[in-house]
Amino acid sequence: MQEYDIVAIGGGPAGLTVGLYGGRYGLKTLVLEKELVGGAMAISPLIENYPGLEPIKGMDLTERMKRQCQFYGAELRELTKVTTIDPDEKILTLSTGEKIKAKVIIFTTGSRARKLNVPGEEQYTGKGVSWCATCDGHFFRNKKVIIVGGGNSAAIEALHLAGIVGELYMVHRRDKLRAEEAYMKKIEEANINFYWNSIVKEIIGDGHKVTAVKLQNVKTDEITEVPVNGIFISIGYDPNSELAVESGIETDENSYIKVDLKMQTNIPGIYAAGDITGGQKQLTVSCGQATTATMNAFLYLHGGKWYL
């Protein structure tokens, strides 16, 4: 059975940061990713808000992070799923049947944006379909877009887009938003239009980019085709915390992993970082939390009683 000082479960920006810092600390570090390393970062057409970098393609930034991890000695494994964890012994069982022993485990499993599950959504992801206004809003400067959702997240995304795009419409299945009153007042003041009692039935494109969406009124069943350049989907996120829950790690009411200031969970030697902890889902936040988790993991392994 192979043994590692640190095993990060999840190969997005948080997991890659664990690999970087673990390697630099001279710790035997393994990053496991059930799909392809990079996660949502890898499929982002352009990242414009990573400090110190000019706008860069998500895949290019992913490759840079991978090379950096490997340069400092971290091991990366793609297409490798962790199926079970013994939290007391910190033994991980992989989908291949292999068992791995870890002195420290860091959950960097992230979250997944809820999808509409309509025709065209997958085809035009990154070609007009987005789940992050902060990431992709500038691609739609002075263009016509819609945002789907009615909660706080959708309201925040809409307010961000309102100062960038030419025309902005919010699509909501009810006749009023669920957002907090403070956001409602700001939305009323912004130049935002609405399609109430409506849902998206199809996303239409020309093969290269989004050109329109089909909306259905849930009360009248009327179908309307609306020409747009882009669609932002903001109907919530679901944390990838199933494995953590099965392992006895505490989560909050929304199933995000609960951590302290050290990014440690309720089980000593098991940490979590990035989107899986809730909060702002931003690349820089994930990297910062992973840095904190790995530095404190180093102290944990060396008997440290304080945190950085």
Q: Does residue 217 sit in the same domain as residue 123?
A: yes
Alpha carbons 10 and 243: distance in angstroms, whole number: 12
Q: Which of 5, 69, 136, 260 is catalytic?
A: 136
| pLDDT for residue 308 is more than 50 | no
Which class for 71: exposed (0-12), middle (13-18), buried (19 or more C-beta within 10 A)? Answer: exposed
Q: Does residue 247 sit in the same domain as residue 258?
A: yes
Q: Could you tell me which residues come within 8 angstroms of residue 200 by beta carbon, excluding any fewer than 6 positions away?
A: 116, 118, 148, 171, 213, 214, 215, 231
Q: Which of 5, 86, 88, 135 is catalytic?
A: 135
Q: Does residue 94 sit in the same domain as residue 136?
A: no
Most confident by average pLDDT, 68-72, 137-141, 160-164: 68-72
Q: Which of 60, 69, 86, 132 is catalytic?
A: 132
| pLDDT for residue 99 is more than 50 | yes
Which of these, 210, 262, 255, 217, lies nearest to 236 by C-alpha position? 255
Q: Which two tokens stand for residue 139?
A: 């691609």
136 a catalytic residue: yes
Strand partners, 210: 205
Please tell me the total count of domains within the chain: 2
252 a catalytic residue: no
260 a catalytic residue: no
Q: Does residue 16 sit in the same domain as residue 91?
A: yes
Domain with 283, as residue range(s), is 2-112+237-301
Q: Does residue 122 sit in the same domain as residue 14?
A: no
Alpha carbons 308 and 295: distance in angstroms, whole number: 7
Which class for 143: exposed (0-12), middle (13-18), buried (19 or more C-beta within 10 A)? Answer: middle
Q: Does residue 228 sit in the same domain as residue 243?
A: no
Average pLDDT, the chain: 94
pLDDT of the residue at 304: 67
Decide if 37 contacts 62 (C-beta within 8 A): yes
Residue 11's domain is classified under what CATH number? 3.50.50.60
pLDDT in tens, 291-306: 999 999 999 999 865 5
